[in-house]
Amino acid sequence: MEQGRVFICDDQPEVLRLLEKMLAPHYAVHTFSGGAQLLRAVEEAREERPDLVLLDVKMPEIDGLEVLRRLKAIRSELTVVM
């Protein structure tokens, strides 16, 4: 059975670790922090097709709303929790 893919985008390492620890037993989890990694997350959304994105709103360099706009431009039906 194929695991669903979850992208976690947050600039706080402790939040990333906690969410990854909770979700990794059940999902293929990819974590991203900071502007450069968030852009990478947007690009990987084209190739890896995450089933869910957990996205922080307030982050340095690129805020979560801008990342959301870019993700939705790539895949409008993507489920994002902010």
Q: What is the pLDDT of residues 3-56, one digit of tens each?
A: 899 999 999 999 999 999 999 999 999 999 877 787 778 777 777 788 999 999
Per the confidence metrics, is the pTM higher than 0.85? Answer: yes
Domain count, the chain: 1
The burial class, CB within 10 Å (0-12 / 13-18 / 19+), for 10 is: buried
Question: Can you tell me the distance from the alpha carbon of 43 to that of 51, in angstroms, rounded to the nearest whole number?
Answer: 15
The burial class, CB within 10 Å (0-12 / 13-18 / 19+), for 9 is: buried
DSSP H or E run through 65: helix 64-74
CATH assignment of the domain containing 47? 3.40.50.2300
Q: What is the pLDDT of residues 51-62, one digit of tens each?
A: 999 999 998 888
Range of 19's domain?
A: 5-81
Residues in the chain: 82
